[in-house]
Chains A and B, each alone.
Chain A
């Protein structure tokens, strides 16, 4: 980006920041209705907990799956060898 463009961009950002007014994005925050305020709190909690639960659930599931896959032997061995492995034998 050239120097002129950079200066222009900085000027536009400054002008927009200067001209911006307050944004009332939350109609419930200052509501006199108790039910409305409670709904706002409930949805805030809900929207906070849901992604955390998703991430936690994913990590838990991934850990379980890795452990399950680790149980599969990497190199194949004859069934008879597994059967004759003494106390570690899986045979009768």
Chain B
């Protein structure tokens, strides 16, 4: 039977793509709740900061590594950009998809490891979750985000595995991207609020 320009047989009603695939809808709802969760945390931090006696950061507390974390922020943002280009390559069936996805995963892994090293140094300087308001808020906000990065890292690894087995479809790749863009997008706000 001859096919049309899109490779579909003539006369057969085209199977329409769903407006909103289930996976995407589920991830959007989840991310919406996450946005509100982080908004609540950031709001609590802003109120706590303005309420602090003696200014912010509180005197006698270790300073947060602003410059080093700026570098780490660039790595996470670059990871998001790499994922964007990986998606473009995936749409065009380009062999670069794997390489770009791997780059995105590697940059995400770098972010988590760098942050782990930063935490070890800060704990060594005496900043713990019970050392004061700064420590409490820092580990709550940055720690919650780090958990999300770790989860996103695992999701991207799963996506890469599916891609390696030629088993990745766009309705699986799409929700993974939404989650990673959320993780990447929320970080500059946290950096600006917590570190600067």
Whether chains A and B associate is: yes
Asked whether, in the complex, the Cβ of A36 is within 8 Å of the Cβ of B51, the reply is yes
Interface footprint category on A: 20 to 34
- Residue A47 interfacial (CB < 8 Å): yes
Note all chain B residues with C-beta closer than 8 A to A75: 11-14
Contacts of B32 in A (CB 8 A): 51, 54
> Cβ of A58 and Cβ of B28 under 8 Å apart?
yes
Question: Once the chains bind, are B35 and A54 in contact (CB under 8 Å)?
Answer: yes
Which residue in chain B gives the minimum CB-CB distance to A37? B50
Number of residue pairs across A and B with beta carbons under 8 Å? 75
Interface string of B20-46 (1 = CB under 8 A from A): 100000001000100110011011001
Cβ-based interface call for A17 (8 A): no
> In whole angstroms, how far apart are the Cα atoms of A38 and B11 in the complex?
65
Distance between Cα atoms of A46 and B50 in the complex (Å): 16
The distance from the CB of B1 to the nearest CB of chain A, in whole angstroms, is 11
Residue of B4, B12, B42 contacting most chain A CB atoms (<10 Å): B4
**A40-B47 contact in complex given A46-B39, A79-B5, C-beta closer than 8 Å:** yes
**B161 lies within 8 A of chain A by Cβ:** no
If the complex has contacts A54-B35, A58-B28, A79-B5, are A74 and B14 also in contact, measured as CB distance less than 8 A? yes
Interchain CB contact under 8 A, B4 and A76:
yes
| Of B8, B11, B51, the contact of A33 (CB 8 Å cutoff) | B51
**How far is B6's CA from A38's CA once the two chains are assembled, in angstroms?**
58
Q: Are A36 and B19 in contact (CB under 8 A)?
A: no
Q: How far in angstroms is the closest Cβ of chain A from B43?
A: 4
| Chain B min CB distance to A91 (Å) | 11
Asked if A89 lies at the interface with its beta carbon under 8 angstroms from chain B, I say no
A33 touching B16, Cβ below 8 Å: no
Task: Point out the residue from A38, A50, A82 that lies within 8 Å of B39, measured CB to CB.
Answer: A50
Give Cα A46 to B47, complex, Å: 12
Further pairs besides A47-B39, A79-B5: 16, Cβ < 8 Å: A27-B51, A35-B50, A36-B50, A39-B46, A39-B47, A43-B46, A46-B43, A62-B19, A62-B20, A65-B19, A69-B16, A69-B19, A75-B11, A76-B10, A76-B13, A76-B14
Instruction: Give me 5 A-to-B residue pairs in the complex whose CB atoms sit less than 8 angstroms apart, sorted by A's number.
Output: A38-B50, A43-B42, A69-B17, A76-B9, A78-B2
